[in-house]
Structure 1
Amino acid sequence: MIQSADIREWRTHDVIDAFGHKIGTLESVYVDTSTDEPTMTTVQVGLPTRRRLVFVPLVDAIVGPGYVKVDYDKSLVKKCPAMGTDDVLPAKDEAAIFAHYGLPYQPGADGERQLARR
């Protein structure tokens, strides 16, 4: 299990896929609002003049010296719904991200978000 206390140290680490291919640079970590456990990360991808953020689940992720290794292929991650580097994820778009990776989406009983940025 990845420790929540380490989250602040992950920023600017490389995010690599299961084969060691660099996907991009870790920008933020999102926790599950019901458990407060790290669930997703946003990764900055693209050219310097056209950067965007894509979400990657942290299921089975491994944190190493200077990198976070995720269990998803680079090509799948790059096709994930994206947002601008200065944007905020709208609550209505959360379900599409979970669906992209085939993960269940469970908003709160009153429609609360499942993800919160740390």
Structure 2
Amino acid sequence: MFEAGDIREWRGHDVVDEKGRKMGTLESVYVDTATDEALFATVTMGLPTRRRLVFVPLVGATVGPGYLKVIHPRNLVKKAPSIDTDGVLAAEAEPAVFAHYGLDYVPGAGGERRLARR
């Protein structure tokens, strides 16, 4: 395995937890608006009739043949903030995404959003 360079190229691939258990598929990448570095991914999860996009941090993520491995356990990811498959992350929901994983949330100097979908 190696660290994911351009994670956007991995859309549609399986996302697995630290034990290699499949959680879903990579749908999109959210970058830090200040640095343009990938911070979070959305993973398609749920039953076929009730799919949702769940946020998971990309810090420490690695890639293998046909999959992206994140460092967070599946149960934590399943309970993470999510949006509908055609939804958009609201600005006021950003702090909850960071808080779920114990990450600090600091908006831009002028109160700008921290995450942007790429």
Q: Which residue of 2 aligns with 1:73?
A: 73
Shift of residue 81 of structure 1?
A: 1.2
Q: Which residue of 2 aligns with 1:52?
A: 52
Distance 2:59 2:8 in 1: 18
Give 3-state SS (helix, strand or coil) of 1:95's partner.
helix
Shift of residue 2 of structure 1?
A: 3.5
| Structure 2 unpaired stretches of 5+ | none
1:18 aligns with 2:15: no
* Percent identity of paired positions between Structure 1 and Structure 2: 67
Q: Which residue of 2 aligns with 1:110?
A: 110
Shift of residue 8 of structure 1?
A: 3.2
Which amino acid in 1 is paired with 2:7?
Answer: I
Runs of 4+ in 1 over 4 A off after TM superposition: none
Give the aligned length: 116
Give 3-state SS (helix, strand or coil) of 1:94's partner.
helix
Render the CA deviation track for 1:24-80: whole Å, top value 9, x for unaligned. 110001111111111100000001110001000001000122111000000000000
Give 3-state SS (helix, strand or coil) of 2:68's partner.
strand
Output the TM-score relative to the length of structure 1. Answer: 0.94
Distance 1:28 1:114 in 2: 16
Give 3-state SS (helix, strand or coil) of 2:99's partner.
helix
Output the TM-score relative to the length of structure 2. Answer: 0.94
- RMSD over aligned CA atoms reads 1.0
Tell whether the 8 Å contact from 1:98 to 1:104 is kept in structure 2 after alignment. Answer: yes
| Structure 1 unpaired stretches of 5+ | none
Shift of residue 82 of structure 1?
A: 1.2
